[in-house]
Structure 1
Amino acid sequence: MSAPTNPNPPASPGNLIKMVAKREITTKLHDKTYLISIGVFIAIILVVVGFNVLANSGNDEYKVGVVGSQSKEFTAQVAEGAKQLGAKVTLSTVKDEDAAKPKLENGDLDAIVSGDTLITKDSLNATLGAVLKGAYAAEQQQKQIADSGIDQQKLAEAMKVVPMHEKTIDPNAKTNMERGIVAIVAVGIVYGMLMMIGQFVAQGVVEEKSSRVIELLMVVVKPWQLLTGKIIGLGILGLMQLVIVVGLGLGGAIAADLITVPGSAISTILQVLAWFVLGYTFFASMFALAASLVSRQEDLGSAMIPGTFIPMLSFFAAFKVLDDPSGTFATIVSMIPGVSPTTMPVRAAMSDVPVYQYAIAVVLQVIAIVLLVRLAGRVYAGAMLKTSGKLKIKDALAQSKETLAATNAR
């Protein structure tokens, strides 16, 4: 007689991890705090993008009233100066200052030129000031030359010089700098996301311990499966949010002509996203480890302080790499686990990173992730049923042997 089959065979580890990840995603999508954070991120990006689109939508246009008649020399110099600065200045004749000031007050005029005086409503726009002051200076020079009796034609020929030409030994310097700026902005967003999602991971761990939900979950799921599912679930949400935010920012930058080589910027963004996955897994495990050692939300802040130093230092290191992407400092920090997720994308965007160095950075980061996840899993297993007070790592590791033995016996 054959043994009866189990109608409900135990789920595989993969399915259990998937179940936990799905639970984390569903819970967060119904969490007002998380939804508000998404809204805030998107709102900030939209405001920044909208401002830049408006600021770069066409040339700057200015209207200037000139008291009395306009000399041909002044008009010509204004037109030339405006062209060089990418602006448009329209001159109109006004009777006197008193007649023109109301137009200045209501915005019909941006400035009034009255003899040697330049009048504005408040502060003078830098571009407009450069055009008008340059035109006035050129006009006065021409008058003084004419009054002195100097042959203007000979003087003009003598002052003709061949302009200095710009040349760079690196033809890709401008593109690399643009990519570097894209990378550092994206890394800044990644840093914010790492801290926010990492905080969610830590809060979730403490919440499960304090509410004793962990005891119910332990009946079905092993500690490492629970931690892995939590990290994966929140990581998927974080990556989705990051793609939305960065996508909006990149699209707005392209629309505002802030980026001259969109393809290069997109490849940089994709690289940053890939490093986000490696960085998130590392820091989420670190935050989960720290959160496992406490049982109250009130103690979470102090427990996470040491863990926040590494992402903070890595973020500031990225700015140093931006200054000298080919230097010794950039080379070293871009291969250090925990720091490479923010520094390597910036370095790779601005310089040619040897393939072996890039490979070393990835391999070391993956090794660090594996070791940290194993450590966090053991600490998590040993501390998860400790629902009061604080716990030391060594005590949690000692307790983990009993917890793992009990769960493996199921």
Structure 2
Amino acid sequence: MTQNEPSKMRGLMLVAGREIRVRGLSKSNVISLVVTVVIVGILAALPSLIGGDDSDTRVGLSGDTAPAMQAQLEAMGGFDITVFDTADEAERAVEDETVDAAVADGSLFSLDGIGNEDETKIDAAWQTASVQTNLSDAGLSDQQIGEALTVQPLEFVTLESEGGVSSTLDYFTGLIISIIMFMMLMTPVQYIAMGVVEEKSSRIVEILLTSLKPWQLLGGKVIGLGVISLVNLIAMVAVGLGVSAATGMLSDLPPGTAGAAVSSIGWWLIAFALFGTLAGGVGSLVSRQEESGSVLTPLIMSLTLSYLGAIFLLNAPTSTFAEVLSIVPPFSGIAMPTRMAITEVPAWQIGLSALLLALAAAGALALGSQLYKRSVLYTGSRMKISEALRRAA
């Protein structure tokens, strides 16, 4: 190795550093990151914003059933209870807006009504308290009353949507992860291909290859854009989880959501290695920017199908199709982290999916590097993949 020739790793890092400085620190990328992070933060806060005011409902009680109702409502939670001596005092408290509603003389008083959920809870508490009071007046002991009121809760079985997402929040969470994964793969993949074509059409690549190896040039480009995208992805995940924790929604998410969101970074890295190196390889097959769309179409279609598959499995995450989709590459790159966010996935399926995706990424790395090496200096009409592989390295 001559004195002017950079070492292998130094040359790789020089190219990566150039990509980070030119694209990562560009005004457009910074603005895009800020806007995207703000959108993710809003989406993460949206469930709590839609949920409305979380303050306790102020309820006034009076009459013989007041003590029993107070115990029932306190056990339910979400109520600020005031007990009044007479029904008139309770009704006057509603008129003065001291309380939001009052239960007196068998009636629920309010100025303009209260939420359906609160009405249902108060009505259930009233009926239970009335039964408890009647049983006490009939001479039953507290223990006998407790035994009479103890029943097994209903077991909820949903037949039509069995195997589907259990709540709107679960669906919403999986949707956000699939969208982020799709966008954070689509954008850098296109940048890599367009960057390769740009350097080739301007003949800058011919100058760069006098001091760098083809694999250093392609690898540095993939690493540089990968670092930029990785920073963006980590920022999105951190903001999403941070806002969810700040708004108190993190505990309401499916048990594996936080872990799936963090692990999505690892899934993204493998998927990016697969699509990124292929993008660089197929980008080198053409010499003009207007031709790059034709060679990128198979990659874009694969990413789009992966995203659409992830959207499909949101409705049936435990179906056979969802299991296959989340295991088979390249679809697993988006499908598996999405599925992990909304349902419990067996460890063997996660491990098998990661292994197959890593093997596919290794194969893509070998293919992409060979395509780039054999066709990056070629000028003229679009070269076919088979033709490029037959050319001498």
TM-score scaled to structure 1, two decimals? 0.68
Shift of residue 282, structure 1, vs aligned partner: 0.6
Aligned to 2:22: 27
Q: Could you say if the C-alpha distance between residues 374 and 72 of structure 1 is closer, same or farther in structure 2, counting changes exceeding 3 Å?
A: same
Contact in 2 for aligned 1:334/1:347 (Cα 8 Å) = no
Q: Could you say if the C-alpha distance between residues 111 and 39 of structure 1 is closer, same or farther in structure 2, counting changes exceeding 3 Å?
A: farther
Alignment-mate amino acid for residue 117 of structure 2 = T
Distance of 2:279 and 2:357 partners within structure 1: 17
Aligned to 2:344: 350
Are residue 252 (structure 1) and residue 213 (structure 2) matched? no
SS at match of 2:56: strand
| Residues 293-372 of structure 1 mapped to structure 2, 5 A cutoff | 293-301=285-293, 303-318=295-310, 328-345=320-337, 346-347=339-340, 350-354=344-348, 358-372=350-364
Distance of 1:161 and 1:113 partners within structure 2: 22
Are residue 373 (structure 1) and residue 368 (structure 2) matched? no
Contact in 2 for aligned 1:56/1:257 (Cα 8 Å) = no
Output the aligned Cα RMSD.
4.8
In the alignment, which of 186, 196, 204 is matched to residue 213 of structure 1?
Answer: 204
SS at match of 2:181: helix
In the alignment, which of 112, 127, 130 is matched to residue 117 of structure 2?
Answer: 127
Distance of 1:86 and 1:199 partners within structure 2: 52
Distance of 1:319 and 1:191 partners within structure 2: 11
Q: Deviations over 1:210-232 (max 9, x none)?
A: 43322322222232321111111
Shift of residue 384, structure 1, vs aligned partner: 3.0
Contact in 1 for aligned 2:15/2:217 (Cα 8 Å) = yes
Alignment-mate amino acid for residue 37 of structure 1 = S
SS at match of 1:259: helix
Contact in 1 for aligned 2:73/2:125 (Cα 8 Å) = no
How many residues are matched?
366
Aligned to 1:242: 233
Q: Deviations over 1:59-114 (max 9, x none)?
A: 433468x9xxx7537977985675465423578867799x88xx8xxxx9978999
Q: Could you say if the C-alpha distance between residues 386 and 80 of structure 1 is closer, same or farther in structure 2, counting changes exceeding 3 Å?
A: farther
Contact in 2 for aligned 1:199/1:287 (Cα 8 Å) = yes
Aligned to 2:263: 271
Q: Could you say if the C-alpha distance between residues 76 and 205 of structure 1 is closer, same or farther in structure 2, counting changes exceeding 3 Å?
A: farther
Distance of 2:276 and 2:51 partners within structure 1: 39
Q: Deviations over 1:238-269 (max 9, x none)?
A: 22222222122223333425237999665444
Shift of residue 24, structure 1, vs aligned partner: 1.0
Q: Deviations over 1:94-148 (max 9, x none)?
A: 7799x88xx8xxxx99789997886649xx6443443466678899x99xxx9xx
Distance of 2:150 and 2:102 partners within structure 1: 35
Aligned to 1:164: 152
Q: Could you say if the C-alpha distance between residues 63 and 279 of structure 1 is closer, same or farther in structure 2, counting changes exceeding 3 Å?
A: same
222-231 vs 182-191, which moves further:
182-191
In the alignment, which of 9, 12, 21 is matched to residue 17 of structure 1?
Answer: 12
Alignment-mate amino acid for residue 239 of structure 1 = L
Q: Percent identity?
A: 26
Are residue 198 (structure 1) and residue 189 (structure 2) matched? yes
SS at match of 1:10: coil
SS at match of 1:287: helix
Contact in 2 for aligned 1:81/1:131 (Cα 8 Å) = no
| Residues 217-236 of structure 1 mapped to structure 2, 5 A cutoff | 217-236=208-227
Distance of 1:300 and 1:202 partners within structure 2: 7
Contact in 2 for aligned 1:183/1:272 (Cα 8 Å) = no
Q: Could you say if the C-alpha distance between residues 300 and 159 of structure 1 is closer, same or farther in structure 2, counting changes exceeding 3 Å?
A: farther
Distance of 2:19 and 2:290 partners within structure 1: 22
Q: Could you say if the C-alpha distance between residues 51 and 363 of structure 1 is closer, same or farther in structure 2, counting changes exceeding 3 Å?
A: closer
Gap runs ≥5 in structure 1: 169-176, 405-410
Distance of 2:35 and 2:383 partners within structure 1: 35
Shift of residue 334, structure 1, vs aligned partner: 3.5
Distance of 1:19 and 1:391 partners within structure 2: 29
Q: Could you say if the C-alpha distance between residues 94 and 231 of structure 1 is closer, same or farther in structure 2, counting changes exceeding 3 Å?
A: same
Q: Could you say if the C-alpha distance between residues 359 and 113 of structure 1 is closer, same or farther in structure 2, counting changes exceeding 3 Å?
A: closer
Q: Deviations over 1:316-338 (max 9, x none)?
A: 44456566666544443333221
Gap runs ≥5 in structure 2: 83-88, 157-165
Shift of residue 43, structure 1, vs aligned partner: 1.0
Aligned to 1:286: 278
Alignment-mate amino acid for residue 242 of structure 1 = L
